[in-house]
Amino acid sequence: MPLIKFYANLRSVAGKKEVHILGANVQEVLDKLILEFPEMKKFLMEEGRLRSQMVITVNGQSLQPEISLKTTVSEQDQIAIFPPVAGG
């Protein structure tokens, strides 16, 4: 199963730094992630779509939300989910 790593406030929502979630592509992994952690939906989704400011990487490669959700994943892959970061 792909390893999903959480950062910032997503760690608090999940209550852990990482989980394994079975899925054939990024969208399927996100759907199952939301089923396991329903509170995460408000952080990840907006009007039924992935929030544009979310950053998702697969094996360190940043994905573009419009085309990345169909990206296939394997058991060895690592998916990292970064919420928006504001600084000042």
**Domains of the chain, first to last:** 3-82 (3.10.20.30)
On whether the CB atoms of residues 79 and 29 are closer than 8 A, the answer is yes
Q: Is the pLDDT of residue 19 over 80?
A: yes
From CA 16, how far away is CA 6, in angstroms rounded? Answer: 8
Higher local confidence (pLDDT), 23 or 54: 23
| pLDDT beyond 90 at 87 | no
Give the dihedral sign, CA 15/42/3/81. negative
Question: Percent of the chain scored above 90 by pLDDT?
Answer: 60
Mean pLDDT of 47-65: 84
Which pLDDT belongs to residue 34? 95
Name the pTM for this structure: 0.86
